Amino acid sequence: MSEPEPSLFGLRSQQPALTVLCRLAERQPHTEEWLARALTGRLNQLAETAFEVTAETGGPISRVLAELVSERARPKLAERLMRRCNERDFRESVPLLEVAEAATRRHLVCLYSSLSLRPDAGQLFELALTLGNLGSRRARLGHLPEALRYHQEALETWKSLVATHGIDEVLLNHAISLSNIGQIHGVLRDWQEALAPTEESVRQLRQLVLSGNETALPHLAVGLRNLGIIQSELKRPKEALATNLEGLKIQRSLTAKDPLAHRPELARDLTNSAGRLLELGRRDEALPLMKEALEIRREQAAERPEIFLPQLALSLHNLGVLLHELGRDDESLSATQKAVELRRQLAVANPEAFLELLARSLYNLSNRLLERDCLDEALDITGEVIGCYQSLLDLSPQRFLPDLADRLTHYNNILERLGRMEDRFESAEAGLRLLLPYIGSHREALSGWLDLVLGDYFDSSAATGRPRDPELTRQVFAARAGGGTR
């Protein structure tokens, strides 16, 4: 007998009904269609209620609402949902990631369709804000090249407004747009490209603060944080520490005035300053900052897990690294295991946003287990890491191929320590087959890393006496030389 399809009509409250449907769809995925039907005909009436349920529960309703908003939302509804997602209570909400992106994209489409041939300053201002907003939303979902294009388009729009309407609000948003571009380059590990826009953003924000614009101060603190990270990656550790400590000082003063608004950013600056101290070998000074950040994250995650669990996981991940540096191995292992547990939950709900972070924590966990000679457990964890990076290749082969090749080698090294040479040979061969389609088109990304996987293949062949596949070897060398794989 087929199950009856529930109806929202006749119920006193729509929110409980939507919550029931959402819970049902979590347990029985085929009922997700009921949720879509319930919203489709009455999207404009039910969207706000669906928004509240999404923020509270996540799950299937976030996908359904995002898809419907992207395809059907009227201009005013798209704008209203976008602005709600930008409110402080929802800005970093994990369940609302897809809804926020969909509403922002829909609002941008509506803006473009309504632009006049000669748009006025108000239209250009809204366009630039929305482009930057969408860039940030795409970045949080892992689509970095696309996010960068939106931020660059936003910057060009702000530049045109600076030339004609150089008021503080325009100048502030121009500086923020530069900072956003620097951040994306940083996540893409293009640190030299990240440096110039970030330095210019900090310079402009300093000028605004000196001119008495207090609204620029929180953005200056964020800019200093980002600049410190870039300086660190460019091997300028003393400059990086000074930059991050300056940002931390600003953030502490802001938090003292308004704890609710600024404690999340304070935790970030504490973490980054601890990282800079760690790079200079000042581990004992770094630990109190890291622990202070962790306590903030614990409190926030207890109150609003849908927003702050990712930050708690990050703090645990970083604490695990620091405790390892301090030789406190039991505590390091415990913190890393907790980070993995949280990031697994997050990656299940939203793999695009959290799979890479899960892979990083898993890799650290594998190394902590190796140090304890827990080889079989470390092997299983490393296999999970490799699976993560295989999934991430669809997002950006250029970005994730080096990590995948490195983890393949890590996996093969564990097999060697276990004395499983036959398995090592088969793993190395499988790794080469996995990388083969990318070698010709991503030679630079795989430079050096491919040699390590090839070395595993040749060494394990010699150790086991098993012959290498001549066609596979030929294709690998031909692709590496630029001749393709055929």
> What pLDDT sits at residue 8?
35
In this predicted structure, the answer to whether residue 9 has a pLDDT above a threshold of 50 is no
Average pLDDT over residues 71-82: 92
Which residue intervals of 86-167 are DSSP H helices? 97-114, 121-140, 144-164
Tell me the CATH number at 381.
1.25.40
- DSSP output for 466-484: PPP-HHHHHHHHHHHHTS-
Report, as an integer, the average pLDDT of 7-33: 57
Residue 266: count of CB within 10 angstroms of its CB: 20
- Residue 20 has a pLDDT of 61
**Higher pLDDT residue, 445 or 128?**
128
> Which of 6-15, 38-47, 172-181, 408-417 has the least mean pLDDT?
6-15
pLDDT confidence tier of residue 17, bands split at 50, 70 and 90: low
Contacts 24+ apart (CB under 8 A), 147-154: 147/184, 148/181, 148/184, 148/185, 148/188, 151/177, 151/180, 151/181, 151/184, 152/181, 154/128, 154/129, 154/180
| Structure token pair of residue 27 | 């347990």
Amino acid residing at 118: R
DSSP 258: -
Q: Are 103 and 76 in contact (CB under 8 A)?
A: no
Report the number of distinct structural domains present in the chain: 2
Domain-located, residue 144: no
Given a cut of 60, whether residue 7 has pLDDT beyond it is no
| Lowest-confidence segment of 85-94, 259-268, 342-351 by average pLDDT | 85-94
Q: Say if 12 falls within a structural domain.
A: yes
Q: Residue 10: which pLDDT band, with cuts at 50, 70 and 90? A: very low
And the tokens for 16?
């409980």
* Predicted pLDDT at 11: 34
Q: Residue 250 is encoded by which pair of tokens? A: 């600003």
pLDDT at residue number 94: 84
409 vs 165, higher pLDDT: 409
Q: Give residues with Cβ within 8 angstroms of 255, minimum separation 6.
A: 262, 263, 265, 266
Asked whether residue 43 is domain-assigned, the answer is: yes
Q: What is the mean pLDDT of the chain?
A: 90
439, containing H or E segment:
helix 421-439
Domain hosting 106: range is 1-114
Confirm whether 300 is domain-assigned. no
Residue 466 has pLDDT above 60, yes or no: yes
Q: For residue 466, tell me if it sits in a domain.
A: yes
Q: What is the pLDDT of residue 254?
A: 97
Of all residues in the chain, the percent with pLDDT exceeding 90 is 71
Distance CA 372, CA 360 (A): 19
pLDDT at 269 over 70: yes
Please say which residue of 114, 135, 159 terminates a domain. 114
The answer to whether residue 149 scores a pLDDT higher than 80 is yes
Query: Which pLDDT score is estimated for 5?
Result: 35
At residue 456, the pLDDT reads 94
Asked if the model's pLDDT at residue 153 lies above 50, the reply is yes
State the pLDDT at residue 480: 87
pLDDT at residue 90, rounded to an integer = 87
- pLDDT at residue number 43: 83
Q: Is residue 33 part of a domain?
A: yes
| pTM of the predicted model as reported, rounded to 2 decimal places | 0.78
Which of 75, 92, 114 is a domain's end point? 114
Distance CA 181, CA 357 (A): 21
* Domain-ending residue, one of 71, 99, 114: 114
Rg for the chain, CA atoms, rounded: 25
Residue 424 has a pLDDT of: 96
* Whether pLDDT at 349 is above 60: yes
Span 432-457, pLDDT tens digits: 999 999 999 998 888 889 999 999 99
Looking at the domain assignment, is residue 7 inside a domain?
A: yes
What pLDDT is attached to residue 4? 37
pLDDT over threshold 50, residue 158: yes
- Can you tell me the mean pLDDT for 2-25? 50
Give a yes or no: residue 220 inside a domain. Answer: no
If you write DSSP's letter for every residue of 296-332 in order, what string do you get?
Answer: HHHHHHHH-HHHHHHHHHHHHHHHHHHHHHTT-HHHH
Q: How far apart are CA 82 and CA 133, in angstroms?
A: 9
Query: Which of 160, 180, 179 is CA-nearest to residue 170?
Result: 160
